[in-house]
Chains A and B, each alone.
Chain A
Amino acid sequence: MDTIRGAKRNESRAAWIMVTPALLGLALTIALPFLIALVLSVTRYKLDTPLPVLFVGLEQFTRIFSDQSFLRALLNNLVFALVIVPVQTAAALALAMLLNRPLRVMPFFRTIFFLPVIFPMALVAIVWELIYAPGPNGLLNAFLSLVSFGNWQPVDFLNDPVWAMPAIMLLSLWQGVGFQMIIMLAGLQGIPRSLYEAAIIDGAGLWQQFFHITLPQMRNTIIFVALVTTILAFRLFDQVWILTQGGPNRATTTVIFETVRVVFKRQDVARGAAMSVVFFLVVLSITLIQHLYMKQHREVE
């Protein structure tokens, strides 16, 4: 009996030792800052100020919700997510289906399509800055002119209120789709061939196979990819900071961009903290909604 109790104590102690470094890390680098954000968000504290700290209740929140830039940022993030999630997910699925063949060149193709994923977003942004160069010499302008037989008027993509956001979307998609493609591929390869074989015997065509077998079997994977992409869409920052600084006229501003700008250009760390809190609540809501949706569907089945 003693040995068992001793072993259990030993196990308990070992478990606590094993879990402590990570727990400590999470507490100090996530939980603590989170609390600090809450505290800062109800003050007027500016970085490195010689003035005494004032508590001002929900003033920062009132301010940010009456700030056109912040509201536009929220809208932009939402629009970005609403476009990117279906497009990137569909593209990833399409690519995965195209590459899901036991041909010897497929690993090569897969590698190439995955390549942009290992490029830092900062690098991708800068290369695409060149591609989006204004005037007829810009790579994209030249290409569009070519495929439209000269009917395309050169556009300054990153400075055009209409084209700036789509430009950011395109390069983000280019960088990210490879990652989702690999996940989709793994999902596709998990679908039993017997299902397809049975369907073909029943006379099902390609589209029917897709809608009745592929999609339902891939449901969980697709939802997972959609969820991750949505969260990533709200974290949009690098490209915007480097390429457009939120412009033109807030066309590409995002929540994180506004937050960083307010802290670094105006030293207003209290306002930045308030924005961080709002950002967290938005992401939390989305995650909960998607979880609820998934749960509902599971119950239906």
Chain B
Amino acid sequence: MARYIARRLLWVLLVVILVTFLTFLIFFVIPPVDPAILFAGRAPSARLIEEVRQSLGLDHSFWAQYGLFVKRIFLGDQYGWPGFGMSFVTRSPIRENFLSRTWVTGQLALGAAVVWLFLGVFIGITSALKRGRWQDRASMGFALFGVSAPVFWLGLMGLYIFWEKLHWLPGTGYVSFSEGPSQWFLHFLLPWVVLALLFAAFYARMVRGSLLEAFGQDWMRTARAKGLSERKVVYKHALRASLTPVVSLFGADLGTLLGGAIITETVFNLPGLGTYVVRSVQNGDLPVIMDVVVFASLAVALMSLVADILYAFLDPRVRFS
């Protein structure tokens, strides 16, 4: 098992390097904007542009710049380890901004993950147990809605109904836990629910399908033949067997979300990684783009690894000896 993990970690590293290299390359080949001109202001002269280019470190060759980037990631820079570099926009170290935004996105993603996991599994189980009855139809109707409704629409509707009209919720923005636990919770509630809805719907369908498939398995019959209670049969046997696809998907989904839930963050004005990287792309803020790309690809790769390990833990048939 340890060897397996070690091998996978090596792959993770390789993937991250590849992804960052491609991103770097894309930035230079088809840049969203030329930062040298953008940061030269309203009336950029050739000399001014050249000065800006120098100040941003863009006057070195592509390989030299990439080399510097790799170096700062692995060895750190003058601001510490790991080296986050300096933002073109703020002209100050990226570290603080990056960490605080990662923290916000992390809270958003994890909270939503808890909601969608419970909601999705609960609805999926209900649906499978009450197959064909009104609970099933209602649940699958909800699933269709959740999958179809665009996040931004849900978010705006949610704000309109619960903040502007009903005054039940406090509205957009981020309040840290230390500033007030109840405000923190109320501010996150709608973003969590809105973000989770899509996934919950999807997972509900998946759990339902998985469970129904499990119900048709021979070992279900054996479990009942042993005289186990129906509750044990469903939750210990059937559910256990249907959770493995959920685990795999969950790893990938959470990993992706950790890289930034752009639309949710924008609608609810949460200072997270998603809006950070989008604005950085618009501004051509290369160091930030690269930092977020490293983090996001790392998150996806590592979460997938965790999911795979968990999968092996759940299903002994796939374990490596």
Whether A and B are associated in the same complex: the answer reads: no
